Structure 1
Amino acid sequence: MARQPKRRRKPATRKKSTRRRKAAAHAPRRRAWWRWLLGALVLGVLLFGGYLLYLSQQVRVAFEGKRWAVPARVYARPLELYEGAPVSVAQLRYELTVLGYRKVRRPRKGAEWSQARGRFIIHTRPFVFWDGEQPARRLTVRIASGRVIGLSDAAGRPLDLVRLEPAEIGSIYPAHKEDRVLVRREDLPEHLVQALLAVEDRRFFEHHGVDPRGIARALWANLRAGRTVQGGSTLTQQLVKNFFLTPERSLWRKLNEVLMALIVEARYSKDEILEAYANEIFLGQDGDRAIHGFGLAARFYFNRPLTELQPHETALLVGLVKGASYYNPRRHPERARKRRNLVLEQMHRLGFLDARQLRAYQARPLGVSARGHGPQHRYPAFIQLVRRQLARDYREEDLTSEGLHVFTTLDPWAQKVAAEAVAKGLRRIEKTRRLPAGRLQAAMVMVTPDQGEVRVLVGGRRAGYAGFNRALDAHRPIGSLVKPALYLAALSEPQRYTLATLVDDSPVRIELPNGDLWSPDNFDHQAHGRVPLHRALAQSYNLAAVHVGMDIGVQRVIDTLHALGVEREIPPYPSVLLGALPLAPIEVAQLYQTIAAGGFRAPLRAIREVLDADGQPLQRYPLAVRRTVDPVAAFLVSEALQEVVREGTAKSLQRWLGEGFAVAGKTGTTDDLRDSWFAGFGADRVAVVWVGRDDNRPIRLTGSRGALPLFGRAMRALHLQALDPLPPTGVEYHWIEDDSGMLSAEGCEGAIRLPFAAGSQPRLRSACGERGGPGVLDLVAEALNAPGAAAQSRRLACSR
């Protein structure tokens, strides 16, 4: 029987067909899914690439554009040393301290000095002045009796003139209050770089922005410690975090940090990255000012440039990277010391220090400066004046971003002396007068008479406090300080008024435009009749001033005030004649500068030169002096103001400066004894002092009891130069009988010698003057009859 062939199983065939049909049906879907996946992948690559380009652009702009807003740095005047310069031992020591120079036994390098009595050996720093660069040099300076008596170089050769570099006294930084002193890579001390490598990023010069080995090492250390003891971020990652990103903690920010670190490493060299890191890292807080970068931190903590720091000092700065507040050496010195020593130990482990150096550096004190605010923050009132004067020529963004160097007129030594005089003087007044402690306030402005340079500006009894600046903004009635301007206006008409002219000091009643009567009075409530003009000024008689002022016209007095430098509008009221004119001390200083300079007004200035960030001259502030009042009249007023000190309301100033010391001055007191003023000048300084209360309550102090002692205290310490002016052309001296105002002669009773504009002297002569002075027989008779009285009369005549 034949075998039947096997039949194929139809169900299997049907299954395969079904699968094929299903596969065929799903094939379009699979192809669509793969196309979608490929498209998403391409899109992701494009988006990621675009994002990388965006991050790369951010990095490029930051590194190659304006990387930081660099504040304008403000400098004091440089101290000039030459034979005969008025510099005391105490002043030179102070100036070197402010500059951050180290006192050592044997100066061997820059910014070091030593002293043996009046002999100083100084190694200066190089510095770029507005007129060129001055190299570092070794000096020998000898001082005796408050003057330089010898100046020579390292070889003993005499030097004509040397300028110490000016001290930095402030900076004008942007609204976000970040400050930096930019340093270049070549200026970073090698031991600073070694310290950074030892504790922050050992493989900095080997990795490409991210260090997996460092991350693993930090992770292992943290796991072993059970807490975070070590970070895995590289210096590049830290730079990116500080430079570009917010401080938030998130995976997205960390991813951005890694990507940008890789971009930075790809685009820039290690030296460029290290330089950027050194200028960006946050290292402390000074009030509302953030301290960024090692350059500024060196000045803030040690008051010296970064290049002058030693390894234990840079180790302290590097230790602050971990936590500037937690390891603040001023607030937490023990923490800071332990952190510094740990940095030094890590440097030793990596071979940067040997065992001897490690022990020596770890044993040293922290060495930070005592003050939380360096010298650059002791002068807030003066910096306000600088900012106001700069605002005339620069935009705010230029001042806070372009890295300008502003050279000013501030005298640090005189500022220190004046600030101490104000603080001590006010405490003394409050104690002796039994006034509430701390209530009195004061302001002092000191300028040079010939150039109008502002050398001192004290804005209150706390000179380092950046609050209300009374020297610039306390507008108070000036009282009798207006009288020199009034008499200057009168003396500008020599055919009508001279120092010998008898003026009326009698009661006066003036009807005002509103119908009110104004009847001023003298301080002593007495009328003195007819008195010579010079005595009316010396004794500050109000009634005489009003009579003279009304005679020449109130507007004429106002015009003279404007000519002397008062810029504000002055209402033409008769009360202006007695100082009902609110002015700030800086405005009064301008007024008296013009008088002290013999009628030549030099607009007060606080700025000498401005350089750009590269040290190139940007703008000069030249001296602008012009004659605004009659020099002869100005000289006559200056002579009369010396009498104010010799015999008038400022006679007590001789207690401070010595009897017979030639100085001009004027007291001022306002109604109800609310304001006490004094303005005075010698040959080298003009100063104005105001004392009062911020709430404008009476202080019960006249000008001679409030402001004058502060002036005297400061000028005695600064060794004010006595006046010895040469009379201008057109001035003649004559002997005058004081009580009558007639011409007299030398030796006549009551005769005094006064200056006059040529031809304006009196025409009438006294009886003694007619005879040409007392004869020999007259003098013998005087000596026989009243020898004591005659001698006293002659002494009085000569002393006046």
Structure 2
Amino acid sequence: MKKNIMKNKVTKIIVLILFLLTIPLVYIYILSNFIKNNFYNFNENSPTIFSKIIDIDINNNFNINKFLKILELSRYKESDKLYESGNYILEKNRIFIFRRSFYSFDNYIKKAKFLINFNNNKILNIINLDINKEIKNFQIEPQIIYFSNLNNNFYLYKFITDFPDSLIKIILLVEDENFFFHKGININSILRSVIKNIKNRKIVQGGSTITQQLVKNIFFNYYNKNFIRKFNEILISLIIENKYKKDYILEFYLNKIFFGNINNNNIYGFPLASLFYFGKNIDELDLNEQVILVSMIKGPSLYNPYKNKKIIIDRRNFIFKKMKDKNLIDNYLFDKLISKDIILNNYNIYINYSYLDIIKNEIKKLNKNFYDFKYIFSNFDLLSQNSSKISCKKILSNLREKTKIKDLEISMLITDFKNGNIKCSIGSFDNKFGYNRIYINRNIGSIIKPIIYLLSLIKKKYKLNSLIDNKNVIYNDGKKIWIPKNLNNNFKEKVIFIDSLIHSLNIPVINIGFSVGIDNIINFIKLILNDYNIDIKKYPSIFLGSIGLNLINISQIYQSIFNYGNIVELNSISFLIDKKDIKYNFQNQIRKENNIFSEEHSYLIMYCMKKIIEEGTAKNLNKNKDLVLLGKTGTTNNFVDSWFIGSDNNEMCIIWIGRDNNCTTYLSGSSGSMKIYEEYIKYSFPESFYFKELKNIYYVNIDEYGNIICSEHNKKIIPIIIDNEEALNNNFLCPHHNIIVKYFNKIFNIKKK
């Protein structure tokens, strides 16, 4: 009986011991899985997004001022010597630049020095100073326009090889000299801190290694300190040291250490702190700036250079003293460094939420998740962004004050019509997140007229010199009576086709629209947009722009016109890299179609839009006679929507001004949106629109009735399409001389463009 009792007791003790041993093992197992799933988990983080890589080419029309502006927007600093990347030297008509290193789609681009010589405000030549060789082009690195983040915690991950050796040495000296020798914890430091904490009956000293600091940043609340948390911190540190290599732990620490809060953004990691506090890449920091950041590790709130300059200078000088004692710097350098001031250059990140929205929508087309990607290289253009931001803020503020309408809003889309790249977008006046007016359908008003005129030319219903009825008319379909009017209530019996578009007359376009057919117009729009499900109502008012389209739609339509009938789907993304480092060239995914209508018909409409700037509804833009622009104003009923389309040789702008409640703005296209474009081109360095030479385009003189006439009358010159000489000889007659043109090159002033 006693033996059985004893045996049962022993069994219970063994079970208890095993149970007690199992608890920590299970706990360690749970912690290990937790670490595995969370230690290097960026899967929930949003990607880092970059602006467009800038190509500098001798064939580009870069004047020296435009180049300097690009350097400024790319965070380059003028200097007297090229000490480090990110600097440039300006000497009269030449610029020396130390270009930063960066990653492109398929390779790593090293730092390099270049000399760019300018002559007559154009690039004369480019010299690579590293190899002393003349080259045709080089690239300037993209800028970050959206940081990887999770719940407003922002990161910019860099590999350990990207960090300066001097920075790593300082960090190890100050934070953990024995980092490469311990297994995650420093017993002596822990014992010292335990004694001090027991005396104070709370955690006042950590004794933390770099590994422990990393664990604290990843897994624990920064401010919630207690003994249980400290125990878990030590245990997790030991597990991490057993699972990962030292270089990997150090790299992760450099990218994850907390550097405080700026503008409600939590800043993590040395690379991002370098940008936010000094406006520099991590490899561009001088020794003083490196030590300032290391000083902040002790407490980013207390040792904040913006708030407590004296405190951080004391901390910095303490570290410099430590460096001198360890022979990392000599006495001369020490004296020089401690006398230095702290010069901050806050990185002003402007997150364009409208453009971010466009990127997300394009990724959806790939059936991918935005969060699947680590890096997105976009087509975002820094110069276009800067120009649009300045012009929108200035002009819309003036218009709000002038009209006394505080809720006037704006949306703006800037594209490269040649390749379909979306360069910039403005979704609202104050760049609010969540409501992107780029995608809001609005009646487009007279913006539709060039589209209807184009289709009428394609179907050979009219020519630029055709006469169109311009009489006041009443339309009655049995259900509704419609009495359209010209904006100025000016009516004539007839008006020349080109003049009716230049002056945006309503009655002629209605007559042209009926001639072409509502169904044909709707199908033409759907063809260009490649969207046959878009809902367009079949009402005659469509001829005056009663059709709901958004800025993406409108840009896509006009992109095809300005690109001579060739469609390139609008796109904001150049290439993508996902979190498995798989690369996607987005340019291979976009739709491209050639010649959906002829180059000649595009040419004629673009010529009309050029004349709109010179003598039509947008003539107030024609202040610089040497600058050739294309444009079209648009206004909807009761001045609800103000539209403008403007283009130089490089980019097309679509601008809308209106109110979300669809009440009147009291603004026409020329008094509203066109004012934004007028201001925009003051900063965007526009280039005159270039018309291609087309073999079937000739220029002729016409009279006020549209008749082609001899050169001596010289009334108006327009382009026409001539397919062959025979057609010209058989059809053209000078009414003033009653002579059939047989030798048109001799008798008439018909010029080949």
Q: TM-score, normalised by structure 2?
A: 0.88
Call closer, same or farther: CA 1:210–1:245 in 2, change over 3 Å.
same
Q: 2:683 matched to 1:708?
A: no
Query: d(CA) in 1 for partners of 2:695 and 2:524?
Result: 21
Query: Matched residue of 2:736: which SS?
Result: helix
- Does structure 1 residue 737 correspond to structure 2 residue 713? no
Q: Which residue of structure 1 aligns with residue 229 of structure 2?
A: 253
State which of 350, 354, 379 in structure 2 corresponds to 1:381.
354
Which residue identity does 1:440 align to in structure 2? L
What secondary structure, in the 3-state scheme, does the structure 2 residue paired with 1:720 have?
coil
Alignment of 1:500-579 (within 5 A): 500-512=465-477, 515-565=479-529, 567=531, 568-579=534-545
Gaps of 5+ in 1: 1-24, 774-796
Q: CA deviation at 1:81?
A: 1.9
* Aligned partner of residue 146 in structure 2, secondary structure: strand
Report the equivalent of 2:171. 196
d(CA) in 1 for partners of 2:336, 2:3: 80
Amino acid at match of 2:539: Y
2:88–2:97 CA contact under 8 A, matched in 1: yes
Instruction: Tell me the residue number matched to 1:786.
Output: none
**What is aligned with 1:692?**
658
Q: Which residue of 2 aligns with 1:9?
A: none
Q: Say whether the 8 Å CA contact 1:745–1:772 is kept in structure 2.
A: no
The question of 1:163 aligning with 2:139 is answered yes
Note the C-alpha offset of 1:186. 3.7
Q: CA deviation at 1:102?
A: 4.1
Residue of structure 1 in register with 2:738 after alignment: 770
Look up the match of 2:371: 400
Task: State the 1:676 CA deviation.
Answer: 1.4
The match for 1:421 is 391
Residue aligning to 1:605 = 571
1:323 to 299, 303, 316: 299
Equivalent-residue separation in structure 2 for 1:558 and 1:661 (angstroms): 34
Distance 1:754 1:769 in 2: 22
CA–CA distance in 2 between the matches of 1:139 and 1:444? 35
Change (3 A) 1:286 1:603: farther
Tell me: CA distance 1:263–1:748, structure 2 relative to 1, closer, same or farther (3 Å). Answer: closer
Take 2:515 and 2:575, find their aligned partners in 1: how far apart are those partners?
A: 46
Match of 1:400, SS state, is helix
Identical pairs, percent: 23
- Change in Cα spacing, 1:318 to 1:133, as seen in structure 2 (3 Å) is closer
Shift of 1:208: 3.1
Report what 1:468 is aligned to. 435
Question: How far, CA to CA, are the matches of 2:648 and 2:73 in structure 1?
Answer: 27
Contact 1:127–1:134 (8 Å) recurs in 2: yes
Alignment match, 1:295: 271
Is the radius of gyration larger for structure 1 or structure 2? 1
Per-residue deviation, residues 499-522 of structure 1 (Å, max 9, x unmatched): 111111112222346x12111111
Distance in 2 separating the partners of 1:460 and 1:359:
52
1:59-74 superposed matches below 5 A: 59-60=35-36, 66=41, 69=44, 71-74=46-49
Give the letter for the 1:89 counterpart. Answer: I
Structure 1 residues 731 and 267 mapped into 2: Cα distance closer, same or farther (>3 Å)? Answer: closer
Letter in 1 for 2:79: V
Structure 2 partner of 1:497: 462
1:635 Cα offset (Å):
1.9
Question: How big is the shift at 1:467?
Answer: 5.5
Q: Deviations over 1:765-793 (max 9, x none)?
A: 353242589xxxxxxxxxxxxxxxxxxxx
User: How far did residue 540 of structure 1 move?
Assistant: 0.8
- The range that moved more, 205-214 or 334-343, is 334-343
Q: 1:129 to 1:506 in 2, by over 3 A?
A: same
Query: How does 1:126-275 map onto structure 2 within 5 Å?
Result: 126-154=101-129, 156-171=132-147, 173-174=149-150, 176-218=151-193, 230-245=205-220, 249-275=225-251
TM-fit CA distance, 1:301: 2.7
Q: Could you say which residue in structure 2 is the equivalent of 1:11?
A: none
Q: Take 2:76 and 2:204, find their aligned partners in 1: how far apart are those partners? A: 38
Tell whether the 8 Å contact from 1:81 to 1:148 is kept in structure 2 after alignment. no
Q: Confirm or deny that 1:627 pairs with 2:591.
A: no
* Distance of 1:186 and 1:640 partners within structure 2: 57
Match of 2:403 in 1: 435
Post-superposition Cα deviations, 1:628-680, rounded to whole Å, max 9, x if no partner, equal 2233322221222222122211111112xx23643221111111112211113
| Alignment partner of 1:410 is 2:410 | no
Partner of 2:255: 279
Q: Which of 79, 83, 88 is matched with 1:104 structurally?
A: 79
Shift of 1:332: 4.8
Letter of the structure 2 residue corresponding to residue 645 of structure 1: I
What letter is aligned with 2:713?
C
Instruction: Verify the 8 A CA contact 1:87 1:146 in the aligned structure 2.
Output: yes
Partner AA of 1:379 in structure 2? N
Structure 1 CA distance for aligned equivalents of residues 49 and 732 of structure 2: 61
CA drift at 1:698: 1.8
Aligned counterparts of 2:338 and 2:398: Cα–Cα separation in 1: 46
**Residues 130 and 616 in structure 1, CA contact (< 8 A), matched pair in contact too:** no
Q: How many residues align?
A: 736
Q: Is the 8 A contact 1:732 1:758 kept in 2?
A: no
The answer to whether the 8 Å contact 2:373/2:577 transfers is: no
SS class of match (2:700): strand
Show CA shifts across 1:471-490 (max 9, x none): x2343211111000111121
Task: Give the CA deviation at 1:538.
Answer: 0.9
Change (3 A) 1:564 1:34: closer
* CA–CA distance in structure 2, aligned partners of residues 164 and 216 of structure 1: 52
**Aligned position for 1:455:** 423
- CA displacement at 1:593 relative to structure 2: 1.3
- Which residue number in structure 1 is paired with residue 647 of structure 2? 681
Residues 684 and 720, structure 1, Cα contact 8 Å, conserved in 2:
yes
- Once the two structures are overlaid, the 10-residue window that deviates more, 476-485 or 558-567, is 558-567
By how many angstroms is 1:535 displaced? Answer: 0.8
Task: Describe the shift of the 1:330–1:479 C-alpha distance in structure 2 as closer, same or farther (beyond 3 A).
Answer: farther
Quick one: distance in 1 between partners of 2:653 and 2:439?
A: 17
Residue 445 of structure 1 aligns to a residue whose secondary structure is strand
State the partner residue of 1:648: 616
Measure the CA separation in 1 of the matches of 2:362 and 2:106. Answer: 22
Kept after mapping to 2: 8 A contact 1:195/1:344? no
* Contact 2:98 2:111 (8 Å CA) reproduced: yes
Alignment partner, residue 449 of structure 2: 483
The verdict on how the C-alpha distance between 1:717 and 1:181 changes in structure 2, with shifts beyond 3 A counting, is closer
SS in 1 for 2:259: strand
Q: Cα distance 1:109–1:483, how it changes in 2: closer, same or farther (>3 A)?
A: same
Amino acid at match of 1:593: Q
Preserved CA contact (<8 Å) 1:425 1:713: yes
| Pair 1:583 & 2:558 matched | no
Would you say the 8 A contact 2:45–2:148 is kept in 1? no
Give distance in 2, aligned partners of 1:115 and 1:467.
42
Deviation at 1:333, TM superposition (A): 4.4
Aligned match of 2:638 in 666, 672, 677? Answer: 672
Q: Distance in 2 between matches of 1:328 and 1:402?
A: 33
Distance 2:232 2:86 in 1: 45
Q: CA deviation at 1:170?
A: 1.9
Q: Which of 588, 595, 606 pairs up with 2:561? A: 595
The verdict on how the C-alpha distance between 1:43 and 1:220 changes in structure 2, with shifts beyond 3 A counting, is closer
Distance 1:456 1:28, change over 3 A: closer
Q: CA deviation at 1:393?
A: 1.5
> How far is the alpha carbon of 1:105 from its aligned partner?
1.6
